[in-house]
Amino acid sequence: MAMESTSVYWKPVYNILEEHFEILLVNAQHVKNVPGRKTDKADSRWLTKLLLSGLLKGSFIPPCDVREMRDLFRYRKKLITQIVAEKNRFQKILEDANIKLGCVISDVFGKSGKAIMDAIIGGETDAARLAALAHFSIKAPKETLRQA
């Protein structure tokens, strides 16, 4: 059995049929039919002719467990990208409000940054009290932190 690998549409069909049939997954670019009117029936006839002639070369499909692991890693990467985007958006909101923690604290979402943001959310407006919440490991002087 042969099928074209078009985008991600082939995956569900392949996942179901791979247990029951030997499937040759072929790159759609490699089996392009002559230009003109294209239909699914014409494509399937063309694939059949190529398969019966032995002219198709299958794509590499990793084992199921490897595919699942790849999907998990891709999803993890996507989540990390979204988290970073939200942190950047939040830091921009802080800077728009003239709270320049990013200039003084290397990790705004670290222990000191979270303590200061929690205090601001709690209604604290005194810059000296907010600066006092910074962890002792912050290298910036308290005055610089207070100004930020």
Tens digits of residue pLDDT in 90-146: 999 988 988 888 878 878 888 888 888 888 889 888 888 887 877 766 766 777 777
pLDDT of residue 148 exceeding 90 = no
In a domain, 40, yes or no: yes
Residues 68 and 45 in one domain: no
Tens digits of residue pLDDT in 33-80 = 655 557 778 778 888 888 888 888 888 888 989 999 999 999 999 999
Is 59 part of any domain? no
User: Could you tell me if 78 and 41 lie in one domain?
Assistant: no
Q: Which two tokens stand for residue 101?
A: 């923690």
**What total of structural domains would you count in the chain?**
2
What is the signed CA dihedral for 28, 34, 35, 40, rounded to 10 degrees?
-60
Residue 129, domain member (yes or no): yes
The Cα–Cα gap between 114 and 133 comes to 10
Q: Does residue 68 sit in the same domain as residue 136?
A: yes
- pLDDT attached to residue 52: 86
Q: What pLDDT is recorded for position 107?
A: 82
pLDDT attached to residue 12? 84
pLDDT of residue 33: 63
Query: For residues 113 and 107, is the Cβ–Cβ distance under 8 A?
Result: yes
pLDDT value of position 60? 87
Lookup result for tokens 């200039």: 103
Residue range of the domain that includes 97: 64-147
* Final residue in a domain of this structure, among 52, 72, 91: 52
Do 89 and 25 have their domain in common? no
Do residue 26 and residue 93 come from a single domain? no
**With 70 as the cut, is the pLDDT of residue 85 above it?**
yes
Domain annotation covers residue 58: no
Quick one: pLDDT at residue 37? 57
Is there a single domain that holds both residue 69 and residue 142? yes
pTM: 0.61
At residue 39, the 3 state secondary structure works out as: coil
Q: Are residues 46 and 69 in the same domain?
A: no
Does residue 140 sit in the same domain as residue 88? Answer: yes
Residues 136 and 68 in one domain: yes
Burial of 26 (0-12, 13-18, 19+ CB in 10 A): buried
What helix, strand, coil percent values describe the chain, rounded to 5? 55, 5, 40
Contact 134, 112 (CB under 8 A): yes
Assigned domain for 142 exists: yes
Give the pLDDT score at 133. 78
Residues 47 and 74 in one domain: no
